Chains A and B, each alone.
Chain A
Amino acid sequence: MKVKALLRTSSATFLAAPVLVFTCFVAYSSGSLAQYDNRHPPTVSAAAYQALVLAASAAAGCGAWEAGRLRQSGIWDMASWRSRYRIAAQRLSLPGALGVAVMVVMTVMRFVQASVIPDAASLPAVAIGLLLPIPYAVMGFAIGNVSRSPVVCAPLVMAGTWFFIGFAGNSSTDIPGTLWLRHATAYTMSSPEIDQVISPLGLLVPVLFTCAVAGSAMLLWGPWRAAVRITLAGLVAVAGLATSCAMTSGWGYRTPMITSALAEKCSNRAGVNVCVPELYQDMLPRVQKTAGPIVEHLHRAGVPAPEKVTYRRLEVAAGTEAWHIWFLPRTSTDELAESVAHAPLNDAEWSCLGRKDFKRADTLELWLRSTAGLDAGDSVSDRETVAAVEKVRKRPVGEQAAWFAEARARARSCGKAG
């Protein structure tokens, strides 16, 4: 079939403009920039998977429509003269291209919004993301093939794909035995931290799952006897689904990642030793300028000064007293200061204290903020907590230090006493 005729008659041509415009709107308006604004290309490439639900449902819906039209026109039954695979490939080229185009648009927009250039580590996720809508187009085509009416089937396939991917990505966690579908559909791909890339297995599973289903459907169109076709299709489907299910059996909620050590950049200036990842070395002066006075204020109030203030994902030698902070390139100075004031206790210690004595955790947090000189006016603490903090702050430094040490000891007790 000529390209011009294909373009003129394909449903994908008519759906392309609204779907691509909608993708641009979604890319522009949805999702917090903070989710992928870390200058780490693999995080940005994972953020583009948000469009998979659009790309897959558009491709599957168009595929179903094309199959129904082929069946109605009798072309599908010309298998003696033209291979069904050739017919399907021709008619599926545009639905598949539409799905790929949606992913291209979302990927490009995410990289532009994050002002990041793709690197070698992010390319596998980008490539898999671009390819994933194609098996969905084949699945839609297969369903459209057995339907009597493309007008009824195509919208159902489109909506069904949309909700299946949404369901598998979100709700499979509370239905026992279906967590593997979350990894198999890849829609809710977890964001890699700046020292992580998505594991090759994490990318292989969605390919295996979708290609197994699409491949088994394609085997049903072959020129062999029905028994052979059905057996082959069943074997491929079962093998693909079982393998992807087995591969993900030990995985948790998050997509598996490969973590590597981050290079760090530390300040040479006198005062507190501040380290940031090499990726954020341009932020080092600002972090140093923000952290220095806060550490000093807290130390004067009785909080032991750390040997090092470092980024949360950076490794610290055993025995080093370090405060871990977290920030992104566009994090404001106020938020950065809050992160430093929060750092005398690590996440596990805050969590432990919160579970054991919520009021103490609330009081300690407000005390750290106000002692660090941060504006406590926007704090959500109640009047009782504010009064308790004012009372502690009026005490001599020695008593404040003892009060903090007691709170920290309580926060560290979970590791010992559960």
Chain B
Amino acid sequence: MYWWIKARRAHINIPVGLAVFAVLVWLFRDRLAAMPSLAGGNEVQLMLLAPLSVCAALIATLSARVHDVENAGTRPFARMDAALVILVVAAAVGIGYGFSWALGSGAAGAVGRNTALLTGFMLMCRPLLGERSLVIPLAWILLVVVEGYDGLGHPHAWALLPAPGMDLPVLAVTAVVFTTGVLLSSRTKS
């Protein structure tokens, strides 16, 4: 276990990723920023960016494989990877709800769910793209920024990320995407 953590650099990547995530959640709260968009310029939640730090930490960790050792199959590395992903996302959800409770921020309440959703998307594409699958959450965030809101600033239903934290349909989609992502990713050896 110790060598697995060291080889994956999980002892560096994960704490740094979660610390950056916590700082961003604390800083962004419910703040909005005017961004260029195709709907005529919108104010979007800065909090949309925060999950990217967790996604980056996870993909950097999962991609640091020691192929020969792991292919030998003496340890259940796929299950260990899946457990790591679930633990890190659970920590992000906890940080989000913690700040939401402490700061009264609605966006912080949704950031944990968004982290799970974007991580799920990223892991679903990992068998195909490998380490490059980080561009999937980034692309989704930028897509929401530029096209996720109508001209009046209301988010489209497909955008998912701006939905309130306890929105049941989005929570259901998140659960499906995250579970599928973890399952697909645990079968990949990239």
Contact = CB atoms under 8 A, between A and B. Distances in A.
B87 interface: no
Chain B at the A interface: mostly helix, strand, loop or mixed?
A: helix
Chain A at the B interface: mostly helix, strand, loop or mixed?
A: helix
Contacts of B38: 25-26, 29-30
29 contacts: A22-B146, A25-B38, A26-B36, A26-B37, A26-B146, A29-B38, A29-B40, A30-B36, A30-B39, A30-B41, A31-B40, A31-B41, A50-B36, A148-B60, A151-B132, A152-B59, A152-B60, A155-B52, A155-B135, A156-B52, A156-B56, A156-B138, A159-B52, A166-B44, A167-B31, A167-B46, A170-B43, A171-B33, A188-B34
Interface string A157-178: 0111011001101110010000
A30 B40 contact: yes
A151 B32 contact: no
Contacts of B41: 30-31, 50
Interface of B: 27-28, 31-41, 43-44, 46, 49, 52-53, 56, 59-60, 63, 131-132, 134-135, 138, 141-142, 145-146
A51 interface: yes
A54 interface: yes
Contacts of A25: 38
A323 B167 CA distance: 52
Interface in A203-251: none
Q: Which of B28, B34, B39, B52 has the most CB of A within 10 A?
A: B34
A53 interface: yes
A50 B146 CA distance: 13
Interface residues of A, number: 29
Given A29-B38, A51-B36, A152 B134 contact: yes
Contacts of A190: none
Given A30-B36, A167-B31, A171-B32, A151 B134 contact: yes
B38 to A, nearest CB: 5
A152 B56 contact: yes
Given A156-B56, A159-B52, A171-B31, A30 B134 contact: no
Interface string A102-128: 000000000000000000000000000
Contact of B36 (A54, A148, A159, A163): A54
A133 to B, nearest CB: 14
A149 interface: yes
Nearest to A26: B36
A169 B35 CA distance: 10
A163 B60 CA distance: 22
A26 B41 CA distance: 8
A151 B134 CA distance: 8
Nearest to B135: A155
